[in-house]
Amino acid sequence: MGFDSQFTHHIPVRYGELDQQGVVFNAHYLAFIDDAFEQWTHTFETDVRALGWDMMLKKLDMEWHSPAGYRDVIQFDCAITRWGGASFEITYVATVDERPIVTAVVLYVSVKVGENTPMRTPEEVKAAFGRAVEAPT
């Protein structure tokens, strides 16, 4: 897909995540995205929460390409695809054995920890995530 991923996370599909059609229930993809985001932040050398920084999801655009099923391992390739002053976008490209499953673009807003008040994204957070890359086509 021509995507310069900055972080990759793998999630094995469990039986309880399937719907009556035997594929991953669509609502689980948002939980998978949250898991990938959290795991990415665990790789940072900087404790971004200690900076008083947190984030909240503002908008999600998700496109399904094909289903994932029981025992599939979904690979989530993640990258910053836009930096704003107080907001940023992360694109998540999910595949199973290189077969496209889901593409999601999430718009996050930087907020102060515990206050949910918008704030400029600290430069240390931007450095931890890395530069914005071109979104997949």
Q: Measured between alpha carbons, how far apart are the two ends of the chain, in Å?
A: 6
Has this prediction a pTM greater than 0.85?
Answer: yes
Q: How far apart are CA 94 and CA 76, in angstroms?
A: 4
Q: How many CB atoms lie within 10 A of CB 76?
A: 25
Class of residue 5 by CB neighbours under 10 A (exposed 0-12, middle 13-18, buried 19+): middle
**pLDDT by residue, tens only, the chain of 137 residues:** 557 899 999 999 999 999 999 999 999 999 999 999 999 999 999 999 899 999 999 999 999 999 999 999 999 999 999 999 999 999 999 999 999 999 999 999 999 999 989 999 999 999 999 999 998 87
pLDDT at 2: 52
What CATH number labels 7-129?
Answer: 3.10.129.10
